[in-house]
């Protein structure tokens, strides 16, 4: 491998000749060989957006020449497009402020522009990082990447599954099955009602996530090192937020209090909490689906789900609910990530939180994984759910909890006696009720209508 010599305030460093990063990036690359987790590409893109926005603001405020503005914008656009992603090699496990990733961006943007233009027009710190500090750029990149990931990836995935459930509700209207509570038989429920519960969970999760976005739209940029805005021109914070909004097409605004913006990560915690709630609901939905599909002969077997791949290396013909299992694994990963984010956010000392890389690594992983899992579950499982009407009908009429319909006519205690006699003697509720003398056969038939029990208030 060929190298070139780059310099920083600590001296010279050998840097791969085919890369655009500089000495500070190389120092971090060599000093933090920890794990395999690299700074997320979403953060890299957010930094490109941030640096372009800062350059535009600095230019309008008279702090940057047009020549330097054009050079920064050219390089930043390359970063935003992802075409320079292989120039961002740094580990998540680095300085807790993300300083080295900020400098990685500064160096790549400066060196790429200098290389293209054939002259040293940009300095990483003096030009690309003008009016900024790592302490306000990294939390800003966190918020930009979080909003983009949620709006462009997660929310569309949720809405896609909601539409699938709406279709399944329509297709399964009029099908009544046994309800279940405590994993025990309960009173009847329409299958469409059960599906509507799944659908509304996601609608509420979607609403909660959208509400949590408001705090993420607040940008720390303009606070510089400790929140005072030292070395940033007046009005820079508001102008740069406006530029970020224009570039992304999403609404951002400058944080009202930069001291909070640098040291507190409460907006990220809040937003991830909403994502965790979504993960909890997806866990519940996936579990419901695999319970209802259990069998095919010795389980509930009330629904059919797509058969996607063989389920066993030793049991021929076995097919497992693999999409449900993937969803539940993602869900527990998100719950673990939520604990990590919460602990990390609690560690703000004085004017800065120094757990930011691990916070955004976990946050973006959660958004990415949940969105992908929802889309996969929708395509390969939920979209193909079909009711096993015969099994649902059999289980419905075999349920002892249908006796609940008799409560208004023979009372709770007599209904309980009827259910226990039917269960003990393995006879029908009708046979037990008549044998106990609580109702005649004709009286029983007049009041006992299982399908109607799912719609007690129907006109």
Active site residues: 182, 312
With H, G, I as helix, E, B as strand and everything else as coil, classify residue 106: helix
Separation CA 316–CA 337 (nearest Å): 37
In angstroms, how far is the first alpha carbon of the chain from the final one? 80
Separation CA 139–CA 357 (nearest Å): 9
Taken in order 433, 437, 443, 447, is the CA torsion positive or negative? negative
Separation CA 222–CA 61 (nearest Å): 13
Q: What is the DSSP string of 181-199?
A: ETTEEEEEEEHHHHHHHHH
With H, G, I as helix, E, B as strand and everything else as coil, classify residue 332: helix
| Burial of residue 395 (number of CB atoms within 10 Å: 0-12, 13-18, 19+) | middle
Q: What is the DSSP string of 157-177?
A: HHHHHHHHHHHHHHHTTT-EE
Closest alpha carbon to 220 in 236, 198, 201: 236
Closest alpha carbon to 389 in 175, 165, 198: 175
Is residue 273 within 8 A of residue 212, CB to CB? The reply is: yes
Closest alpha carbon to 177 in 268, 285, 276, 292: 292
| Burial of residue 2 (number of CB atoms within 10 Å: 0-12, 13-18, 19+) | exposed
Taken in order 360, 361, 366, 371, is the CA torsion positive or negative? positive
Q: Which residues pair with 118 in a beta bridge?
A: none
Is residue 52 within 8 A of residue 247, CB to CB? The reply is: yes
CB atoms within 10 A of CB 425: 11
């Amino acid at each position: 491998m060929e190298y070139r010599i780059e310099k920083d305030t600590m001296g010279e460093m050998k840097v791969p000749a085919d890369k655009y990063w500089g000495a500070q990036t190389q120092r971090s690359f060599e000093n933090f060989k920890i794990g395999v987790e690299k700074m997320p590409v979403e953060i890299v893109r957010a930094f490109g957006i941030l640096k372009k926005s800062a350059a535009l603001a600095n230019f309008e405020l008279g702090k940057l020449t047009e020549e330097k503005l054009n050079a920064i914008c050219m390089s930043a656009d390359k970063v935003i497009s992802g075409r320079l992603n292989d120039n961002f090699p740094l580990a998540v496990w680095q300085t807790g402020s993300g300083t080295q990733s900020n400098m990685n961006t500064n160096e790549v943007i400066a060196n790429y522009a200098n290389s293209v233009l054939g002259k040293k027009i940009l300095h990483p710190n003096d030009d690309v990082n003008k009016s900024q500090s790592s302490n306000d750029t990294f939390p800003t990149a966190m918020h930009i990447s979080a909003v983009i990931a949620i709006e462009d990836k997660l929310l569309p995935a949720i809405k896609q599954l909601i539409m699938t459930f709406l279709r399944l509700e329509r297709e399964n209207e009029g099908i009544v099955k046994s309800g279940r509570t405590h994993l025990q038989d309960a009173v009847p429920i329409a299958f469409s009602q059960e599906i509507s519960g799944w659908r509304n969970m996601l609608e509420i999760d979607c609403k909660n996530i959208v509400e949590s976005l408001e705090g993420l739209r607040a940008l720390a940029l303009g606070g510089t090192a400790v929140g005072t805005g030292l070395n940033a021109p007046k009005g820079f914070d508001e102008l740069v937020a406006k530029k970020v909004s224009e570039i992304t097409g999403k609404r951002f605004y400058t944080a009202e209090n930069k001291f909070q913006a640098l040291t507190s990560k409460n907006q990220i915690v809040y937003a991830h909490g909403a994502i965790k709630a979504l993960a909890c609901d997806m866990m519940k939905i996936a579990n419901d689906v695999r319970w209802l599909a259990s069998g095919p002969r010795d389980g509930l077997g009330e629904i059919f789900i797509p058969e996607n791949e063989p389920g066993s290396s030793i049991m021929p013909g076995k097919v497992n609910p693999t999409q449900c299992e993937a969803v539940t694994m993602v869900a527990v990963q998100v719950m673990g990530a939520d604990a990590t984010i919460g602990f990390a956010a609690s560690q703000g000392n004085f004017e800065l939180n120094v757990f930011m890389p691990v916070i955004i690594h976990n946050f973006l992983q959660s958004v990415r994984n949940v969105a992908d899992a929802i889309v996969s579950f929708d395509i390969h499982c939920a979209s193909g759910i079909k009711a096993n009407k015969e099994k649902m009908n059999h289980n419905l009429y075999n349920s002892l909890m249908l006796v609940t319909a008799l409560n208004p006519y023979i009372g709770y205690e007599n209904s309980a006696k009827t259910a226990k006699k039917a269960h003990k003697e393995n006879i029908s509720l009708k046979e037990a009720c008549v044998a106990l003398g609580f109702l005649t056969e004709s009286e029983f038939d007049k009041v006992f209508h299982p399908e109607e029990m799912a719609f007690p208030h129907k006109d």
